[in-house]
Chains A and B, each alone.
Chain A
């Protein structure tokens, strides 16, 4: 029974990637660019989902991990001439190191304290991008020189390449999420989310598991941050702001926490909701606020979470 479910789930996820691959040939240019961006942002959300969804760590500071990757790649490109491949590696390293360090401190707290501590660390990181404005150029940001935006000979600013690289990144993060969800470690993380004390009394070093989960989550966020910089060419303080910590939370809540495809569904939906609303108002964050309130009040399991509960228990 279990293996039949596993097959069904594998087919679904490979199918999603295949559809996304095919879409690039039929989408009009505007949506082609959008979808590339959504796939990158959804990868960030998938990283967030490892911590929030699968482990129950409600972080309000993931922007710092995204920004760590973004700035690691961007600043090293700007000042040391490091190109895309090196930038991506630096991004992973930066996100991983920062998440491990923050985790060692923040994971001594739980619940509301954990939320506030991660928020505070992220705020300090955000302010740091202004304090070092000489290099980062703060709010204004800077553009990564286009001759460095090459990955294995591919020019990343070229739309078809960008789409392909975004899809690869998306597939990688999807595979990581899928593997974590299915692994024996994933089972321990879910147990921690459900009852931390009981898990400890089954002999698990709960702190270590949470640290590993947060570090994986941070490393993924760092990788995505670096990729975002290389694909879209711009590095700025906005990406370190509290907004970019709230976005992944919102996307994951909307799509369904602790579901592999939830972050993508949520990101896609929110992206287009905001996109459409910005057509007639400058206050497009209004949609974000209303969505947060509406979801937490009426739909806390999100779209795929509710679907799994009612119709598709096999959904990972």
Chain B
């Protein structure tokens, strides 16, 4: 294949990655933005979403389309329920102390991962894509499902944007993010907003995961890479900023896809990690600065 088509293929692959990453990172960013906590278990929620999707599809045993749609509804709801439980039982009791929360969510990450290992097992299993259709380009054929993933991600993000800017719930979230004490004074149920945001963040990761299982198989350790990449996106994109997060996700997702096609993916990851660390070092007051002790 010539360079041009090869580059197009790499870009398409990157765009699929970026679409899923944007959803996942958006969840992490919302949680950080509103609650001022870093959820290390975010990748575990992603993995849980994928595994539940497989389980739903497998149990239902209906056609690919029906199974997939069922998974797309049930899996995020189930993951959201787990997140609400974690928020009630753990984070609230820690009073959302930033450092304790990190330690606790690391614990949560292990618990979810290990429970998945005990129940689902160590194997990787796929979900059949809902549509089996290839788009024939002049140089190569490309999976129609992957294009659908990009479209679905855009739709979900537009819905989130609409919800945040145009609804009462979105207003409450933004008020809480701006100043939780004042929000409380204006009779906004801050506790419930926190619970809701934490669940919603996890559900976004789960939606991303359901979209990805037909491409990448479900596995109990699959959450680690999305977690790391989401961190990178959230730090580069700016917190609580939807546009920044989405933009950073597109850039990182695309460049990750493109770079991994041309270079060693390990080197790309090393460089990305170091760049992110340096961003935090050079701008210590930048993104996480306001709530550091």
Contacts and interface: CB of A to CB of B under 8 A. Distances in A.
Contact of A105 (B102, B278, B293): B278
B156 interface: no
Contacts of A106: 277, 281
A284 B111 CA distance: 10
Interface residues of A, number: 40
Contact of A113 (B112, B114, B122, B280): B280
A289 interface: yes
B59 to A, nearest CB: 22
Interface in A103-145: 105-106, 108-117, 120-121, 123-124, 127-128, 130-131
A3 interface: no
Contacts of B65: none
B165 interface: no
B220 to A, nearest CB: 9
A283 B114 contact: yes
A300 B95 CA distance: 14
A110 B284 CA distance: 8
Contact of B276 (A110, A120, A130, A282): A120
Contacts of A282: 117-118, 122
A114 B288 CA distance: 10
**Chain A interface, DSSP helix/strand/loop, else mixed:** helix
Contacts of B111: 286, 289-290, 293
Contacts of A127: 266, 269-270, 273
B277 A105 contact: yes
B104 A117 contact: no
Interface string B88-103: 0010011000111011
A297 B93 contact: yes
A258 to B, nearest CB: 15
A128 B270 contact: yes
A157 interface: no
A131 B107 contact: no
A290 B284 CA distance: 32
B38 interface: yes
A42 B61 CA distance: 51
Given A127-B270, A286-B115, A300-B100, A110 B106 contact: no
Nearest to A283: B114
B103 A124 contact: no
Nearest to B116: A283
A112 to B, nearest CB: 5
A24 B258 CA distance: 57
A20 B289 CA distance: 45
Contacts of A112: 38, 98-99, 102, 288, 291-292
Chain A to chain B: the 4 pairs with minimum beta-carbon distance, closest first: A289-B110, A292-B107, A111-B292, A286-B114
8 contacts: A111-B293, A120-B273, A124-B273, A130-B266, A285-B110, A289-B107, A289-B114, A292-B110
Interface of A: 58, 60, 105-106, 108-117, 120-121, 123-124, 127-128, 130-131, 246, 249, 253, 281-286, 288-293, 296-297, 300
Given A116-B235, A282-B117, A283-B117, 5 more contacts: A111-B99, A113-B289, A116-B288, A121-B277, A249-B103
